[in-house]
Amino acid sequence: MKNIFFALLSLLVLSSCTQPQNDNAPQPEQKEWAIALHGGAGYVSKDMPEDRKQAYMESLEEALNIGAEILENGGSALDAIEKTVNYLEDNELYNAGKGAVFTSEGKNELDAAIMDGATLNAGAITGVTTVKNPVSLARKVMTDSKHVFFSADGAETFADQTDVERVDPEYFYTESRFQSLKRAQAAEQESGLIETNQQKAWKYGTVGAVALDKNGKLAAATSTGGMTNKKYGRVGDVPIIGSGTYANDLVAVSATGWGEKIMLNVSAHTLAAYMEFKNATLQQSMDYLVDDVLEPGDAGFIAVDKYGNFSMKTNTGSMFRAATDSDGNKEVGIWE
């Protein structure tokens, strides 16, 4: 009889230990949709001319409205983020598409990636020079090929088989970006340093968007011109799935910042894994990545979780960013 009693007691204790510890914790409120975007992180002085600041704020608002309207009307997260990123790629204020920075060889080489959280399918391209909107080609890689990642000439050949818009490489030329290259190269020759503080401030340019749609599906996309004065063949974090771009059924993440640091920490996936295995909230996971994993000055991130919560955080001092959701929550900003 005593053995039976202890056996029952052991089962009761074991059962209580395996129960979730937060049974009484309120469940997060489910939003119908949400979207967040970024236009690059780095150090941007608060002494920025007022007209330039206004141009950035207006463009962030416009990009946000594009994605939000698609989601409000029942469109997919994939459509919302692609069109949002397309707008940013077409705006020379940002280091993607039209505003891409120059490589050390004086070229504009573009990278992009997109990921469908519902299927874990993704598409990525790197080193393209004639594709007007690289993120749209990345989506074609995801939907129209059996591969995930095409590079350089191979990506251009794949683009030949699609209907994505093509342009002459001269389309990507902007005088301000070309002068940034010249200053970077002059500083490099004078000091022998690979990077000056001025270069560092401008290398954090990248655009991205993440979204949750009314069907509960998440998606992430990122597009960039890379790093000013980057060396031959250099590939950053953006097209590396799990580093600069990642989405699953729990969260969607897009990164901007020092690509090498983001890659070495598999950053976007690290945030998602922390959420899953630590049963952490989106904000807890974002804080862990930005504050504990990465070092000050490394990067910034945007993310949306399956409940429609959004988080945007950087440790670089500033990040062009915007977000909104179906409940009317909204944030548009540059500095921390």
Is residue 257 annotated as involved in ligand binding?
Answer: yes
> Is there a contact between 84 and 207 (Cβ–Cβ < 8 Å)?
no
Indicate if the pLDDT at residue 13 is higher than 70.
Answer: no
Interval 46-69: pLDDT, tens:
999 999 999 999 999 999 999 999
Indicate if the pLDDT at residue 154 is higher than 90.
Answer: yes
Indicate if the pLDDT at residue 111 is higher than 90.
Answer: yes
Is residue 166 annotated as involved in ligand binding?
Answer: no
Is residue 13 annotated as involved in ligand binding?
Answer: no
Cα(43)–Cα(277) distance, rounded to whole angstroms?
Answer: 33
Cα(117)–Cα(62) distance, rounded to whole angstroms?
Answer: 25
Q: Is 45 exposed, middle or buried (0-12, 13-18, 19+ CB in 10 A)?
A: exposed
Q: What is the pLDDT of residue 5?
A: 40
Interval 259-273: pLDDT, tens:
999 999 999 999 999
Residues of the chain above pLDDT 70, percent = 88
Residues noted as catalytic: 206
Q: What is the pLDDT of residue 44?
A: 87
> Is there a contact between 229 and 199 (Cβ–Cβ < 8 Å)?
yes
Is residue 139 annotated as involved in ligand binding?
Answer: no
> Is there a contact between 302 and 290 (Cβ–Cβ < 8 Å)?
no
3-class DSSP assignment, residue 176: helix
Residue with more model confidence, 229 or 31:
31
Indicate if the pLDDT at residue 21 is higher than 50.
Answer: no
DSSP for 149-175, written as a single string: EEEHHHHHHHHHTS---B--GGGG--H
Is residue 256 annotated as involved in ligand binding?
Answer: yes
Interval 293-309: pLDDT, tens:
999 999 999 999 999 99
**Alpha helix locations (H) across the chain?**
2-18, 50-72, 77-89, 134-144, 152-160, 175-191, 197-203, 259-264, 267-278, 282-287
What architecture (CATH level 2) is domain 30-335?
Answer: 4-Layer Sandwich (3.60)
Indicate if the pLDDT at residue 237 is higher than 90.
Answer: yes
Closest by alpha carbon to 202, among 234, 229, 164? Answer: 229
* pLDDT tier, 190 (very low <50, low <70, confident <90, very high otherwise): confident
Q: What is the pLDDT of residue 278?
A: 98
Residues of the chain above pLDDT 90, percent = 82
Return mean pLDDT, the chain: 90
Closest by alpha carbon to 259, among 224, 219, 216, 211? Answer: 224
* pLDDT tier, 192 (very low <50, low <70, confident <90, very high otherwise): low
Is residue 33 annotated as involved in ligand binding?
Answer: no
Is residue 236 annotated as involved in ligand binding?
Answer: yes
